[in-house]
Amino acid sequence: MENCLFCKIVSRDIPADIIHEDDQVIAFRDVNPQAPVHVLIVPHRHISTVNDLTDKDQSLTGHMILTAGQIALQSGIDDSGYRLIMNCNQEGGQTVFHIHLHLLGGRQLTHLG
């Protein structure tokens, strides 16, 4: 997608603090971190919102969650705990329309809302 920020990070047209990449996803630190560990796990393929996922994406979405778990382990927050979030559309708080999984941890997180 021509004007997609996260596609530009995937293609290295925009820099990011990349901490992991494999054949399906890239993971980089959020530029405006809300916790000591705040990483975004992003598929290479452009998918605008969670609403656009189909049955064919089950493996990809599972891979995103497993990747987040590996990064949590590497970051030393697996035991203390962390939160995984995917925001969808305006009222869900989505601001970048290329799906991404937030990994947040390293402090006591408050209740959702």
Catalytic residues: 100
- In terms of Cα–Cα distance, which of 93, 81, 87 is closest to 35? 81
Q: Is 70 helix (H, G, I), strand (E, B) or coil?
A: helix
- Residues at the interface with ligand AMP (CB under 6 A): 5, 14, 16, 28, 30-32, 40, 87, 93-96
Q: Which residue is listed with tokens 């290329």? A: 98
At its nearest, how many Å lie between ligand AMP and the CB of residue 18? Answer: 10
C-beta of 60 vs 96, nearer to ligand AMP? 96
List Cβ neighbours of 20 (8 Å cut-off, separation of 6 or more): 26, 27, 41, 67, 70, 71
Distance of closest approach, residue 105 Cβ to ligand AMP, in angstroms: 14
Pick 72 or 99: Cβ nearer ligand AMP: 99
Nearer to ligand AMP, 53 or 96 (CB): 96
Smallest distance, ligand AMP to C-beta of residue 68, A: 14
The helix/strand/coil state of 107 is coil
